[in-house]
């Protein structure tokens, strides 16, 4: 059942051009299902200490997301979608781990095995963590920030950076929630900080009412 739903989203994405809003919506839904799937793998646990494993996996997942979005037209429907995802994840995990071992990764967020991923729960916290967004907030929240961004109830977070259709506002926010540093987001997504800041500032101004509608009463 899961694979059929995933394949339907892949087909929807393939039916539209790479620059179309329809493809972005399908890809966003596809990535949301992939990241929540119980079939999403945890490859090569034995290869690195537990203290850095989740960070290496998160980095590998970001690369897999971009790779799938860029190569969605190459998907072979004879294979299960999650089998394809996990195949890519296995390869990207080894790439990221090698880069880390070779000293090519200068920073990994510190996290103990008992800590949970970063979650921004309200617009008050959003204003603190995105201080230049200029969003007016109140203290109550209906959605957690991560839940809101992942579900994107009205599918409005799918605008992308010019010439990078796989890097939507939704992907940028999800990357920040896992790596709360704009410098780190810039490095992971391979986008200059100036371009990243300019794009996210425009998006925050444009969709301020959208955040307020779902995160505040």
Residue 6 confidence (pLDDT) above 90? yes
In this structure, the answer to whether residues 82 and 23 fall within a common structural domain is yes
- Tokens (6 digits) for 213: 């509608």
> What are phi and psi for residue 6, nearest 5 degrees?
-65, -40
- Tokens (6 digits) for 10: 């892949």
Percent of the chain with pLDDT over 70: 79
Range ranked top by mean pLDDT from 39-53, 78-92, 158-172: 78-92
In this structure, the answer to whether residues 140 and 93 fall within a common structural domain is no
In this structure, the answer to whether residues 49 and 136 fall within a common structural domain is no
More confident residue, 217 or 66: 66
In this structure, the answer to whether residues 92 and 38 fall within a common structural domain is yes
Answer whether residue 128 is part of any domain. yes
**Coil vs helix vs strand at 207:** coil
CB-count exposure of residue 136 (10 Å: 0-12, 13-18, 19+): exposed
Q: Tens digit of pLDDT for each residue in 116-136?
A: 333 323 444 444 445 434 333
Structural domains of the chain, count:
2
| Domain end marker among 101, 136, 169 | 101
Average pLDDT over every residue of 70-83: 89
d(CA 88, CA 173): 23
Predicted confidence band at 52 (pLDDT cuts at 50, 70, 90)? Answer: confident
Q: What kind and span of H or E run contains 82?
A: helix 81-101
Answer whether residue 92 is part of any domain. yes
Predicted confidence band at 103 (pLDDT cuts at 50, 70, 90)? Answer: low
> What are phi and psi for residue 166, nearest 5 degrees?
-80, -15
In this structure, the answer to whether residues 129 and 97 fall within a common structural domain is no
* Residue 190 CB neighbour total at 10 angstroms: 10
Average pLDDT over every residue of 192-212: 86
Answer whether residue 203 is part of any domain. yes
Mean pLDDT taken over the chain: 77
Instruction: Look at residue 9 in the predicted model and tell me its pLDDT.
Output: 92
Look at residues 197, 170, 174 and name the one whose alpha carbon lies nearest to residue 186: 197
In this structure, the answer to whether residues 76 and 19 fall within a common structural domain is yes
In this structure, the answer to whether residues 36 and 88 fall within a common structural domain is yes
In this structure, the answer to whether residues 190 and 155 fall within a common structural domain is yes
In this structure, the answer to whether residues 138 and 72 fall within a common structural domain is no
Residue 81 confidence (pLDDT) above 90? yes
Average pLDDT over every residue of 48-73: 86
d(CA 123, CA 134): 11
Answer whether residue 144 is part of any domain. yes
In this structure, the answer to whether residues 23 and 71 fall within a common structural domain is yes
Answer whether residue 111 is part of any domain. no
Look at residues 200, 181, 190, 205 and name the one whose alpha carbon lies nearest to residue 129: 181
In this structure, the answer to whether residues 87 and 155 fall within a common structural domain is no
In this structure, the answer to whether residues 74 and 10 fall within a common structural domain is yes
Answer whether residue 109 is part of any domain. no
**Coil vs helix vs strand at 155:** coil
Answer whether residue 112 is part of any domain. no
The DSSP call for residue 133 is S
Answer whether residue 108 is part of any domain. no
Q: Tens digit of pLDDT for each residue in 126-178?
A: 444 454 343 333 333 345 677 788 778 888 888 888 888 888 898 888 888 77
Predicted confidence band at 104 (pLDDT cuts at 50, 70, 90)? Answer: low
Residue 12 confidence (pLDDT) above 70? yes
| Residue-range definition of the domain harbouring residue 16 | 2-101
* Half-sphere exposure for 48 (CA within 13 Å, toward CB): 19
Instruction: Look at residue 128 in the predicted model and tell me its pLDDT.
Output: 46
């Amino acid at each position: 059942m899961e694979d059929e739903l995933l394949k339907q989203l892949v087909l929807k994405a393939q039916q539209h051009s790479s620059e179309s809003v329809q493809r972005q919506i399908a890809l966003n839904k596809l990535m949301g299902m992939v990241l929540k799937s119980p079939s999403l793998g945890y490859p090569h646990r034995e290869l690195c200490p537990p203290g850095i494993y989740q960070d290496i996996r998160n980095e590998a997942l970001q690369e897999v997301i971009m790779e799938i979005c860029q190569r969605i037209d190459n998907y072979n429907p004879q294979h299960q979608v999650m089998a394809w995802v996990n195949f890519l994840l296995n390869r990207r995990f080894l790439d990221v781990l090698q880069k880390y071992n070779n000293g090519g990764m200068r920073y990994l967020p510190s996290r103990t095995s008992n800590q949970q991923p970063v979650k921004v729960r309200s617009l008050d916290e959003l204003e603190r963590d995105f201080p230049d967004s200029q969003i007016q907030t109140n203290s109550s929240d209906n959605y957690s920030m991560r839940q809101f961004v992942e579900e994107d109830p009205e599918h409005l977070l799918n605008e992308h950076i010019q010439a990078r259709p796989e890097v939507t506002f939704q992907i940028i926010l999800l990357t920040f929630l896992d790596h709360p540093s704009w410098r780190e987001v810039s490095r992971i997504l391979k986008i200059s900080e100036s371009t990243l800041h300019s794009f996210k500032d425009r998006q925050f101004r444009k969709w301020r009412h959208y955040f307020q509608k779902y995160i505040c009463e």
